[in-house]
Amino acid sequence: METKRIEIGPKTILSVIGAVGACVLLLRLTPIVVVVIVAWFLVAAFGPVVDWLQMRGLSRGLAVAASWILALIAATLFAILTLPSLFDQVRSLVEHEPDIRNHLADTLSKTKLTQNFAQSLRDFKYDALTKQVGPQVLVASGRVLEFVGYTVSALFLAIYFMIDRDRLRGGLFALVPRDYHVRLARVLINLETIVGGYIRGQVLTSVLMAAFTFVLLLACGVPNPLALAAFAGAADVLPYIGAALAIAPCAAATAASRGLVQVLIVVGVMLAYQEFESRVIVPRVYGRVLRLPSSMVLLALLVGGVLGGVIGALLSLPVASALRMLFQEARTILPGERVEDSALRERDARAEREYHARAQDLAAEEAAAVAVEIAFGRLQEEGGRKAALDVPMTAAHH
């Protein structure tokens, strides 16, 4: 019997050690990676505004400064108009919490199915909860300061990315062989479209949810509608579970202050709006940008929530959409898809020939601009991706 000997060379051993070391380093630098991702998300969200201002004659630096100043002014005005009332209503909810709880318990005790729950609600004591939470306050305060520091770092890093975009892009293209520059440009454009479209769409849907909830609760005579509407808008960020998180406190506040009819109205109308949002608003706002089936959305949320908690769930959808796009750009045919592979590869080869002819003697930064222009033209030519029309036109002119 012949014995085969398998030898592992030094190069393989070094490669394995390097890969393991890179994974360990990446885990240790997870907060920094998250800061960079958040900064890039901000760049994608503000990109269209900056490019629109550039098209009106402003320089890159002035356009970036103007966009952030406008955002700061809008946030300040919003805070001045809403935060005082919001704090008052939150304080009112806290002060009247015992009365609200007792009233809700009385309502639940009227039916046999909820009598046990009503008694548990009456007997609930905060002392044990306070003793458990108390030691964690100091740790939580340190984490809050850490979160604020990372947030400020992400803001300044995003501003730097936006101002120095062309040079950073040139440095990235200098690290990649020129045969892949056009495809890299397509990937960057698609990533900006996915991330920017998702963030702007999520902000819009959250604002619409908060406005709708405020009007509904105000019409039903529910006290403290602004605080409850703000919570509903924040909860709307999370797909699926956000609906339950938004409806539960609104229903509880309505039950504690109004009758059963108003509770049914609030719950029914909010459920109807949630259905309208998922069927009409979301597909129109960013559904075409993400292009994810419902099963993949749910799977991405579960994976993101397990790996990264709330932040992981928030990032899961654009990350899943980006991975799908990367498979498509690699010309990998996914299950259930039919792709004209030969035609795609021919168009890729034609674009690469054009790029090599135009960028032969150019520096990395100028060659990157040519690659972006060709890739943007390809996306418009294909016409299958409507979101490509939202990509900043000035990106091809730098």
Mean pLDDT value of segment 164-168: 84
Alpha helices (H) along the chain: 10-28, 30-55, 60-95, 97-108, 115-123, 127-163, 165-174, 181-219, 225-235, 241-257, 260-276, 282, 288-290, 294-329, 341-358, 364-382
Q: How confident is the model at residue 52 (pLDDT cuts 50, 70, 90)?
A: confident
pLDDT of 43 above 70: yes
Q: CA nearest 302: which of 385, 257, 384, 241? A: 241
What is the structure's pLDDT at 288? 65
Top mean pLDDT of 1-15, 26-40, 53-67, 225-239 is at 53-67
Distance of alpha carbon 203 from alpha carbon 236, whole angstroms: 10
8 Å CB contact between 193 and 388: yes
Measured CA to CA, the distance from residue 45 to residue 311 in angstroms comes to 17
Helices 225-235 and 181-219: crossing angle in degrees, nearest 10, is: 150
User: Residue 393: is its pLDDT beyond 50?
Assistant: no
pLDDT at 397: 33
More confident residue, 360 or 64: 64
Q: How far is CA 312 from CA 188, 198, 207, in A?
A: 22, 15, 22
| DSSP 8-state symbol, 3 | P
195 touches 45 (CB < 8 A): yes
* Whole-structure pTM value: 0.67
Q: What amino acid occupies position 290?
A: L
| Alpha-carbon distance values, 90 to 1, 229, 378 (Å) | 80, 11, 52
Q: Which of 17-21, 231-235, 381-385 has the lowest mean pLDDT?
A: 381-385
DSSP state of 4: P
Q: Which of 111-120, 173-182, 331-340, 341-350 has the lowest mean pLDDT?
A: 331-340
Residue 49 has pLDDT above 60, yes or no: yes
DSSP category for residue 96: T
Band of pLDDT at residue 337, cut at 50, 70 and 90: low
Provide the H-helix boundaries in 96-174: 97-108, 115-123, 127-163, 165-174
Q: Which of 17-31, 113-127, 155-169, 378-392 has the highest mean pLDDT?
A: 155-169
Percent of the chain with pLDDT over 90: 2
pLDDT above 60: residue 127? no
Mean pLDDT across 66-86: 83
Q: Retrieve residue 264's tokens.
A: 């049914």
- At 189-242, the pLDDT tens digits run 888 888 888 888 888 888 899 899 999 988 888 887 888 888 888 888 876 677
Mean pLDDT for the chain? Answer: 76
Q: Give the helix/strand (H/E) hosting 383.
A: none
